Amino acid sequence: QVQLVESGGGLVQPGGSLRLTCAASGRIWSIQNMAWYRQVPGKDRELVASGTSGGTTYYADSIDGRFTISREHGKNTVDLQMHSLRPEDTAVYFCNLDIRTVWNRVENYWGQGTQVTVSS
């Protein structure tokens, strides 16, 4: 019913920038809450940034103001702009959305993940 496709990951040098995009398609009425998580092998998935439909945002302490989560309502996309990337930001990044469907149900969906590697 709803599909999430992530893009924008890749290899970047320390100090560089990347923009991740999560595109939602299907029987969507609106995106409610949004979040980006990341995971490295052997560790739990951790919350990086989140945002509510009311505009409240949250960022993990480790982000130090380097990332920005945002959405484009008309396109049903959610972005994570990342600046000043560090090697410790290397992980698979996942988007997670609460979506109100056309049947007026709020359902939670995960993207498939996109690899971000920060290395010189």
Instruction: Render pLDDT for 73-108 as a digit per residue (tens, 0 to 9).
Output: 778 999 999 999 999 999 999 999 999 999 999 999
d(CA 88, CA 64): 13
pLDDT band at 43 (very low <50, low <70, confident <90, very high): very high
Higher pLDDT, 45 or 75: 45
Of 36, 44, 2, nearest to 19 by C-alpha is 36
DSSP-derived letter for residue 86 is -
